[in-house]
Amino acid sequence: MKSICKSFPGVKALDDVHFSIHRGEVVGLLGENGAGKSTLMKILSGIYTPDSGEIQFEGKNVTLNGPKQSQNMGISIIHQELNLLPHLTVAENIFIQSLPKKGLKLDRKKLFSEAQKLLDDLGFDIDSRSLVEDLTVGTQQMVEIAKALSFQSKVIIMDEPTSAITEQEAAKLFQIIKTLKEKGIGIVYISHRMEEIYEICDRVVVLRDGCNAGEGDSKELSPEQIVNMLAGREMSQIYPERAKEHGDRVVLEVKEFTRKGTFEDISFQLYEGEILGFSGLMGSGRTEVMESIFGSTSINSGQMWIENQEVKIKSTRDAIKYGLALVPEDRRHQGMVGEFTVTQNITLSTLKKFSGFLQKVNFRKERETAESYISQLKIKTPSGDTVISNLSGGNQQKAIIAKWLESKPKILILDEPTRGIDIGAKSEIYQIMLELAAKGTSIIMISSELPEVIGISDRILVMASGKITGEFKKEEATPEKIMLCATKGV
C-alpha cells in the first residue's frame, strides 16, 4: 500500500501511509486508539475506498471494489467489531458466503459437518449448531477467527483478535498463526498487548494520528522504543499509586449465591472504597455472578446485603436504585446507542441530572460534562456532536465507560474495562477508578489481564468452574499463584 490517504468528515484518518507485508510474515500493526489501524485494513479488505494512493498485490496494481473482490484475491479479515449474524447458527455464519447446496436446498448435513470439522481441526470447543446469540463474546470471536480461516487466503488481517478471549485460547490462536505462517500466509496482527507483539510478530509498523510513525524488526525494538513511536512521548507509570487505603465498612455482602450449572456458593464482602479484582478464565462464571448481583439474571439460592440491609434485587432497575452500576463486557451491544452522539451517550444514564424544570435538558451542562470526559480520557472525536458509531473501536469504549463513571454509583462493577483500549487511556481509566475509590465508591473489576488485576486491585478473588478458588491481598498476589487457582478443576 503506497501513499494511502483517507478522510472522514472532520478527520484525516490516514495521511500518506505506506504498508507492506511479505509471504509468511507476521506484521504487528500498532497505534493508539484512533490512529487509523482499522481504517487502513478496511481499505486493504475492500470495505473502504481510499481517497488516493496505490495498492499492489503480488506485484500488480489493483483496485479493490468491495470486500468480495478482496476476498477472492486472497485477503480476509477478522473484524474488530464482531460481524456475525446473531440469529443464525455458528455453521451458517462461517459459510454464509458459500452455503453448501443440494439442488436448490441448503445441505444442512454437509453444512454442520464441515463447520464442525473446521472447528475441531482448530481445536475450538464450539458446537457448529449453536446459535451465535447464545455464545459469549469470546466464543463469538473464535467463530470469527474460524470463519476467516475457512477461506483460501494469502493475507489474513486480525483486528484485535484476542481482545475477548482467554490466555489459553490466545495460545491456541498463536499456534494457528505459526502454522499459517509456515504455509506462506501473511498475517497482519493488530493488538494493544505488547507481550503478544513480541511473541508472534516478525516486524512492527506503528501509526500515529494517521501517519507512519516508525517500523522495525520486533527483535530489535525495545518496548520503550515502541511506546515512544506509539505516543510520541515518554510513558510514565501505567498503574498510578493508591493515595488512600480503603475503608473497613462492608458495603456489599454476597452469601452463597448459586445458579445451578453456572456458579455455586459464591460468598464475598466488598468494603467501602475498595477495588476488588475478579480474576479467572473465560467461562469461569465471573460475568454471570455479576449479572445476578445486578439483577439481570436470577439465582436459585443465596442472599445479599447492601450496607447491612438485606436486599432482593429482581431487576436492573432495582439494582440502580440501590446504587449499583454495571459496565458490561459486551459494551457495543449492551452499552451504547450507536446513532446517538458522543455527548448523548456519555450523559445517557444521568440525563435526570441535567434536566431542570419541566424536564428540560440543560444542554450547556450536558455538553460541559461530556467535554470534560472527552479531554480526560482523550476520546478522539471531531466533537461531542459526532455520532458515536463513527469513532474508532477503542474510543467508543472510552465514551461508554465515561457514561458509567459519570453516574457515580455507590458500587461500580466493571467487566473487562480496558479491553481494546490503548496503554495511555488505560492509565487514565485506572486513575479515574482510584479517584472514585478514594471518594468512597466500591469497585468490582473483572479482568482477564493478570498485570492489570494485580496492578490495580486491593484484593483479588479468583474463580474457576463457577466457584471461588482463591483470594489474595494485593501484596501477596503473583501471576503464578492466580493462574494456579484459575485452572483448578478445569
Ligand X SMILES: Nc1ncnc2c1ncn2[C@@H]1O[C@H](COP(=O)(O)OP(=O)(O)OP(=O)(O)O)[C@@H](O)[C@H]1O
Q: Which does 331 bind (CB under 5 to 8 A by kind): ligand X, Mg ion, none?
A: none
Q: Which amino acid appears at position 361 of this protein? A: V
Task: Indicate which single residue of 1, 19, 26, 38 sits in contact with ligand X (rule: CB under 6 A).
Answer: 38
**Structural contact between residues 36 and 17, judged by C-beta atoms closer than 8 angstroms:** yes
Q: Answer whether 280's CB lies under 8 Å from 462's CB.
A: yes
Q: Confirm or reject binding of residue 35 to ligand X (CB under 6 A).
A: yes
CA distance 205 to 201: 10
Tell the smallest beta-carbon distance from residue 9 to ligand X (Å). Answer: 6
Q: Which stretch binds ligand X (CB under 6 A): 7-15, 276-284, 366-374, 474-482?
A: 7-15
If one asks whether residue 39 binds ligand X (CB under 6 A), the answer comes out as yes
Q: Which is nearer to ligand X, 11 or 462 (CB)?
A: 11
Within 210-338, residue ranges assigned H as helices are 223-231, 286-293, 316-321, 331-334
The CB-of-330 to ligand X minimum distance in angstroms stands at 16
Q: Residues of 121-160 as b/e, b for ≥16 C-beta within 10 angstroms?
A: ebebebebeeebeebbbbbbbbbbbbbbbbeebbbbbbbb
**Min separation Cβ 226 and Mg ion, Å:** 18
Span from 242-250, 388-396, 409-417, 427-435 in contact with ligand X (CB under 6 A): 388-396
Q: What is the dihedral of CA 81, 82, 86, 88, to 10 degrees?
A: 140
Taking CB under 5 A as the binding criterion, the range among 41-49, 79-87, 237-245, 271-279 that sits at the site for Mg ion is 79-87
466 makes contact with ligand X (CB under 6 A):
no
Q: Which is nearer to ligand X, 40 or 254 (CB)?
A: 40
CB of 40 to ligand X, least distance (A): 7
Which of 14, 20, 19 has its CA nearest to residue 51?
A: 14
Minimum distance, C-beta of residue 39 to ligand X, in the bound complex (Å): 3
Q: In sequence order, what DSSP letters do the residues of 44-67 get, joined into one string?
A: HTTSS--SEEEEEETTEEE---SH
31 binds Mg ion (CB under 5 A): no
Closest approach of ligand X to the CB of residue 201, in Å: 16
Question: Between residues 386 and 448, which has the closer beta carbon with respect to ligand X?
Answer: 386
Long-range contacts of 436-439 (CB under 8 A, 24+ apart): 436/405, 436/408, 436/412, 437/242, 437/244, 437/246, 437/273, 437/274, 437/275, 438/243, 438/244, 438/273, 439/273
Q: By beta-carbon distance, which residue lies closest to Mg ion? A: 38
CA distances in angstroms from 297 to 14, 273, 306, 475, listed in the order given: 44, 26, 18, 34
Give yes or no for residue 11 binding ligand X (CB under 6 A): yes
Q: Nearest CA to 346 among 315, 391, 316?
A: 391
Whole-number minimum distance, CB 391 to ligand X, in Å? 5
Residue nearest to ligand X (CB): 394
Contact set for ligand X, span 14-33 (CB under 6 A): 31, 33
**Contact partner at residue 470 from ligand X, Mg ion, none, CB < 5 to 8 Å by partner kind:** none
The residue among 89 and 140 lying less far from ligand X, judged by its C-beta, is 140
Can you tell me which of 4, 17, 28, 37 binds ligand X, judged by CB under 6 A? 37
For Mg ion, which residue of 273, 285, 328, 393 counts as binding (CB under 5 A)? 393
Q: Which of 457, 443, 391 is nearest to 412 (CA)?
A: 443
- Helices 108-121 and 137-149 pack at an angle, to 10 degrees, of 100
Contact between 161 and Mg ion per CB under 5 A:
no
d(CA 384, CA 394): 16
What is the rounded (10 degree) CA torsion for 301, 293, 355, 341? -130
**Do residues 236 and 242 touch, judged by C-beta distance below 8 A?**
no
Does 448 help bind ligand X (rule: CB under 6 A)? no
Using CB under 6 A as the binding rule, the residues of this chain from 41 to 80 that contact ligand X are 80
Strands of 88-142 (E only): list them: 101-102, 105-106
Task: Pick the stretch among 32-40, 109-117, 233-241, 324-332 that binds Mg ion (CB under 5 A).
Answer: 32-40
The yes or no reply on residue 390 touching ligand X (CB under 6 A) is yes
One residue of 38, 139, 163, 279 binding Mg ion per CB under 5 A: 38
* AA letter at 15: D
Residues in binding contact with ligand X, number by CB under 6 A: 19
> Which residues here bind ligand X, judged by CB under 6 A?
8, 11, 13, 31, 33-39, 80, 380, 390-395
> Which residues here bind Mg ion, judged by CB under 5 A?
38, 80, 392-393
